[in-house]
């Protein structure tokens, strides 16, 4: 008997970058991801640009994003979001769960339960937003990368002032702040969508988020990337590609 032939699937993957990034941070990864999933999956990748995406709140952004994704005639649609992009991906999944066949969420928060914590977070984000309007760019990027969440790891990609609008950065800090985000876990528990959550071994905060999600959401797998901090896709790209491609193929 001849081996069973592999029929390519029509799969769309939307990738959403984080704050102080542009879509081009994904480019080396997308090339390798295409190679990793071929020939089993006929994969099309879309790189979302948060700096040109409409939406004045997390919820409005998700609604307008899903509106734009809906017309694409794929058999299966998947989301991949990193950090801020992961939080937006959570909102898109909840806004229109029937649109998505799976999601990969990397180093993203499902929300703060305490109103006090949300208010404190909003206050800090407003301060950051104001800084990006006026202060020296290189000093700000150094201060940002020195935050404990990044575990002392510097970004492997450039963060150049000419690639951004300071006004848009300031606005994103405020309108997409975790201070405006509800605790999404109670609603995420009602989803029936396979999900892969990835956190860095050194990123204790999001390691705990992944554990909490995995304990409450039966269709979620939590993968811990060894020797990495918050920026998992750029600190261990080879492992990320292997884990993500394996997840996509297992969904079929």
The count of structural domains within the chain is 1
Residue 132 lies in a domain: no
99 lies in some domain: yes
Q: Model pTM?
A: 0.95
In a domain, 167, yes or no: no
Q: Tell whether 232 is covered by a domain.
A: yes
What is the CATH classification number for the domain harbouring 214? 3.40.50.1820
What residue spans of 102-159 are helical by DSSP H? 115-134, 137-145
Report the C-alpha gap between 62 and 147 in whole angstroms.
Answer: 28
108 SS3 class: coil
pLDDT, tens only, 85-140:
999 999 999 999 999 999 999 999 999 999 999 999 999 999 999 999 999 999 99
Residue 151 maps to a domain: no
Q: Give domain status of residue 174, yes or no.
A: no
| Inside any domain, residue 67 | yes
Encode pLDDT of 185-208 as tens digits: 999 999 999 999 999 999 999 999
Q: What is the pLDDT of residue 252?
A: 87
HSE (side-chain half, CA atoms, 13 Å) at 14: 28
For 198, residues 6+ apart whose C-beta sits below 8 A from its C-beta are 104, 105, 106, 107, 210, 222, 223, 224, 225, 232, 240, 243
Assess if residue 186 is contained within a domain. Answer: yes
Q: State pLDDT tens for residues 153-187.
A: 999 999 999 999 999 999 999 999 999 999 999 99
Q: Parallel, antiparallel, or unpaired: how do β-strands 102-106 and 41-48 relate?
A: unpaired
């Amino acid at each position: 008997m001849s081996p069973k032939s592999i029929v390519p699937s029509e799969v769309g993957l939307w990738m959403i970058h984080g704050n102080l990034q542009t879509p081009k941070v994904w480019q080396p990864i997308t090339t390798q991801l295409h190679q990793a999933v071929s020939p089993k999956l006929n994969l099309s990748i879309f790189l979302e640009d948060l700096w040109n995406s409409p939406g004045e709140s997390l919820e409005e952004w998700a609604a307008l994003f899903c509106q734009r994704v809906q017309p694409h005639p794929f058999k299966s649609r998947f989301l991949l979001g990193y950090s801020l992009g992961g939080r937006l991906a959570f909102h898109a999944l909840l806004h229109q769960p029937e649109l998505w066949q799976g999601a990969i969420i990397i180093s993203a928060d499902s929300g703060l339960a305490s109103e006090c914590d949300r208010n404190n977070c909003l206050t800090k984000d407003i301060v950051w937003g104001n800084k990006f309007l006026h202060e020296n760019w290189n000093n700000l990027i150094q201060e940002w990368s020195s935050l404990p969440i990044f575990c002392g790891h510097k970004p492997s990609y450039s963060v150049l002032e000419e690639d951004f609008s300071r006004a848009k950065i300031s606005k994103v800090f405020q309108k997409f702040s975790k201070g405006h985000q509800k605790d999404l876990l109670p609603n995420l528990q009602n989803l029936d969508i396979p999900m892969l959550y990835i956190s860095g071994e050194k990123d204790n905060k999001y390691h705990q988020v992944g554990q909490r999600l995995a304990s409450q959401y039966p269709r979620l797998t939590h993968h811990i990337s060894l020797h990495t901090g918050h920026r998992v896709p750029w600190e261990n790209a080879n492992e990320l590609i292997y884990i993500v491609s394996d997840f996509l193929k297992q969904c079929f």
